[in-house]
Structure 1
Amino acid sequence: MSSTSSYYSTPPCAACKFLRRKCLPSCVFAPYFPPEEPIKFTTVHKVFGASNVSKLLNEIQPHQREDAVNSLAYEAEARLKDPVYGCVGAISVLQRQVIRLQKELDATNADLMRYTNYEQANNNQIMENHQERSNFQYGRRMVPSYYSSARNNDISGDHNNISTDNCDGDS
């Protein structure tokens, strides 16, 4: 009775459960196809077969097995979605998207450069116009104010305020 209780203490891996066999401690699938991920093994089995996956895992180094299983699972999912091209189709779609986005980025950068050059030329023109206006206004402002103050003195008769009483020397 204790042997049956120890047998049920660890659930079988997803591969052994799918294949309806006893999951031994030396099971090559157990570390990579846990019981809570049954779909992962199902898709890999549909595309590659359990025998081929088992052979592949036994031929590669233990530290490479997890990456190999993840790659097989990815390829199996892609192959089920697109039976003709598999993950190559997905890669091709992504490459086209990268090319399209690169062209869009190049066009946006060109627009930005045109806008920057236009704004810089506009700012230079505004500065030149402002400089010309300042020079012109400065010159006009100084001359009329000089003449207008002299003219205002003439009109108001300030130069006639000189007392003529002392001209006789009677002081």
Structure 2
Amino acid sequence: MGGSSPCASCKLLRRRCTKDCIFAPYFPSDDPQKFAIVHKVFGASNVSKMLQELPVHHRVDAVSSLVYEANARMRDPVYGCVGAISYLQSQVSQLQMQLAVAQTEILFIQTQQGPNPLPTMSPQTDVQNDKSLLFSCNNFNTIPQYLGHASSSNVIQDPLKRDSLWT
């Protein structure tokens, strides 16, 4: 950097920005918050050491990851980005179970109709059969064992715990 304005890290740390400043290419002076949050979570010395150990072509990605993790740590100091990943994995798991239930219901309805699309039972009986299927399929805890899916132990299954990650 050397001449015009110091990079965001040198501004925050109140030091002179040299032409070989390791932070200058990744923390420009027009985005001081980016370095401030990384500095608050990881410390300037640690970030400097990490960047020096990496090849130059990997540093941009490393800084991007550090900024993402620092932001996640500010929102959730305990879990950081792992909490966000667990939350999203839990959502995917729940949606997969809902999809399996919907597919099972469709299959059941198709088998009830058989080759003749006209109902053979009275409408009242069909409604009761559909309700009993729906109630039996709403037990989401039993669905994975019937479908052959193993539930992941690192995914938070309790909805109260999952929601508490963001509050």
- TM category (shorter chain) comes to 0.5 to 0.7
Q: Shift in Å at residue 112 of structure 1?
A: 2.0
Percentage of identical aligned residues: 54
Matches within 5 A, 1:83-102: 83-102=77-96
- Which one scores higher on RCO, CA 8 angstroms, separation ≥ 6? 2
Deviations 1:55-111 (A, max 9, x none): 110011111111111111111111111111111111111111111011011111112
The answer for the alignment partner of 2:3 in structure 1 is 7
Matches within 5 A, 1:7-156: 7-8=3-4, 11-123=5-117
Q: Which runs of 5+ in 2 are unaligned?
A: 121-167
Cα distance between partner residues in 1 of 2:29 and 2:103: 51
**Does the C-alpha gap of structure 1 residues 84 and 125 become closer, same or farther in structure 2, counting only changes over 3 Å?**
closer
Counterpart contact for 2:113–2:119, Cα < 8 Å:
no
Higher helix share: 1
TM-score, structure 1 as length reference: 0.63
Q: Partner amino acid for 1:7?
A: G
Runs of 4+ residues deviating >4 angstroms: none
The answer for the alignment partner of 1:148 in structure 2 is none
Deviations 1:101-142 (A, max 9, x none): 11011111112222333344333889xxxxxxxxxxxxxxxx
Q: Shift in Å at residue 22 of structure 1?
A: 1.8
Alignment: residue pair count? 119
Query: Superposition RMSD on alpha carbons, in Å?
Result: 2.0
Q: Partner amino acid for 1:20?
A: R
The structure whose Rg is larger is: 1
Cα distance between partner residues in 2 of 1:125 and 1:108: 21
